[in-house]
Structure 1
């Protein structure tokens, strides 16, 4: 592997491989999404990947939202300098999202819940070390401590009708991405459509993880906070300016390290705090990690690397102002504390008058990969779902399971051979959600 690794032995390589992987999860998560853009779509940096229809199972990113239209501008300022991300005003639609660095740490939110407050604007993404005082008037400065990064932007639907889906696509395509140097006459933004492509950015728990991590190390300069990892990575054969070419023995050790990583991060699920007393729904980000994300991981005496690693095994987004434009509750167990099984049927009641200004949804994911269930005919149900059956009291019962229930329009199919998890989304959340005077029902087992 290298002289340092050889002298330390396999035990050190295993130990340091585990720590390096947990530290590197968010960057690898990003790199895998970008790699799919390049390998599957022929795209590149400073272009926008989007899905021209609502997502289906072929989008194998981590817990994606199948009830909005996705846009993902990938940027690289290393050669072209500052990049402009131009957001349209919230007139014919609503955009919701954040601009993030290579580590998926939010720089700032955009849209009605972001800096432009729905007025639209020109966000100027600045390279590391760029003098923000020299930003021209009329731009929102976005200092970024990495050259590469991306924005996750959702175009929110008025309803789930075909016409409103088409409107959301058209509205989102009003975004522009171009270098500041071309501001006087910007070239047309390149949009790359990923619809009907198996876009697989799942975390690989094997040597491929370290190959991705190496690409990140080669691409980005070290930041002060992460310099403690330089020797750790040298131990496993990753060093700036040096090819990553582990021996067969080293590859075996690193494969074993990733097995330990998956098991270690899996334990974090038991550390979540219930949102409601006596129930299984939880908000998947601790207050410490929320604060760290909001402060760009510069909070004194706090650097929650372990929790960050866990979080980015099942998401690929962070909001600077978490919970303001959208809120999430997650469940992996039923009301009896049993894991959600794909061969079992369940029901959850969504009471009337959900406290949102936009919409609510419930989406099912594969428990092992945190992706949409492959070949599933649908992934979730929402207040936007055409034909959704509503009870006499205004509540909605949503069903999960392998068999079609009597109310087919409210059913989400599961895979009989595996486990699943459910993510509840609330777009435009209101106070009754947070003070819990409105309460989402638990996931109740109904059969077998």
Structure 2
């Protein structure tokens, strides 16, 4: 695949179907925000035809890939030029400008299938993809479940029952890891804030595949890039998550909470607090009709800051008096969690001289 990538303040990347970075695009990629051409090779493609082409060459270990593209500016001219400059095409053709679908008020669900649908999706991908050496142990475990590469997935009644039960139990196990991660510690001692992406870019070390680490993230989110996994001061993105309050209790949809964000938030670009559903793992469905109903960020001119530059953000079924501008609504039927994103975090974050406190439950 050929990618013509625009210059400008963007964050992007190409990922394989294990959600491992193939190559970053934009500010944290080899073009460093200057734009350029890329070639994405499949597992067995020959790189020779692209030598001297002037394009950055990267190889995916899977046939299916994922391309992410995020514009990091509100400047309408830069936004327009970035969108005009992104083009894709097959090798041997001229890349075609991407068509952005905008202004369509249609719900989009990113929640993976549950029950038998999970196994049907897995069987489809297994059949499409090549098998790496490291995948053979997994393939051996899938075979007794009726998932065999090159063969139709046709479980009998007994297998179907066991697979549905297994999918439910597996989801409970991963949800427990998501809420109570055992492979890591809170980013700030004494808090319940965890760094969301807490594994290596390759998702393995010299001795292990980081299975629990990978499952914890990908149960509730998608994508990793070099800039997300290993951000450096002034570049990349930091993702933090919390599921508990200052007393160590799991947050609840029927209670209200305050997050006091200290002044001088260490970001060169912007920050945001985004609310997600624990059930669907997509933006929270609270009846709101605009983005700020599920995400409050530093570019929102309606936010009310304290006199010292700090800000109090609220999550709960009702807004405290006078705090509507800084509030996101929860509904009793659906639990929640948050991501606190920091774009181009600066030194005080990395040396931990600046820290987020935990959510405080409001009586």
Q: How many residues align?
A: 349
1:99 maps onto 2:11 in alignment: no
- Which of residues 66, 69, 81 in structure 2 aligns to 1:150? 66
- Which of residues 276, 279, 291 in structure 2 aligns to 1:365? 276
Asked if the contact 2:253–2:317 (Cα under 8 Å) also holds between the matched residues in 1, the reply is: yes
Asked if the contact 1:349–1:441 (Cα under 8 Å) also holds between the matched residues in 2, the reply is: yes
- Which of residues 314, 318, 338 in structure 2 aligns to 1:399? 314
The 5 Å alignment of 1:272-311 reads 272-286=184-198, 289-293=199-203, 297=204, 299-311=205-217
> Greater relative contact order (Cα 8 A, min sep 6): structure 1 or 2?
1
Task: Name the residue aligned to 2:239.
Answer: 328
Q: Secondary structure at the match of 1:216?
A: helix
Structure 1: which 5+ residue stretches go unaligned? Answer: 1-82, 159-163
Partner Cα distance (2:206, 2:49) in 1: 29
1:418 maps onto 2:327 in alignment: no
Task: Name the residue aligned to 2:89.
Answer: 178
Cα shift at 1:223: 1.2
1:87 maps onto 2:5 in alignment: yes
Cα shift at 1:423: 0.8
Task: Name the residue aligned to 2:142.
Answer: 233
The 5 Å alignment of 1:125-144 reads 125-135=40-50, 136-144=52-60
Partner Cα distance (1:165, 1:305) in 2: 42
Partner Cα distance (1:188, 1:329) in 2: 34
**Could you list the per-position Cα deviations for residues 120-163 of structure 1 after superposition, in whole angstroms to 9, with x for gaps in the alignment?**
111210111223344242101111111210112211233xxxxx
Cα RMSD (Å) of the superposition?
Answer: 1.9
The 5 Å alignment of 1:25-104 reads 83-90=1-8, 94-104=9-19
Partner Cα distance (1:344, 1:311) in 2: 26
Partner Cα distance (1:353, 1:434) in 2: 14
1:219 maps onto 2:134 in alignment: no
Asked if the contact 1:101–1:145 (Cα under 8 Å) also holds between the matched residues in 2, the reply is: yes
Partner Cα distance (1:169, 1:106) in 2: 26
Partner Cα distance (2:80, 2:167) in 1: 39
Partner Cα distance (1:440, 1:277) in 2: 11
TM-score under structure 1 length normalisation: 0.74
Cα shift at 1:103: 1.5
Q: Secondary structure at the match of 2:85?
A: coil
Asked if the contact 1:363–1:380 (Cα under 8 Å) also holds between the matched residues in 2, the reply is: yes
1:247 maps onto 2:159 in alignment: no
TM-score under structure 2 length normalisation: 0.90
Asked if the contact 1:95–1:155 (Cα under 8 Å) also holds between the matched residues in 2, the reply is: yes
Cα shift at 1:97: 2.2
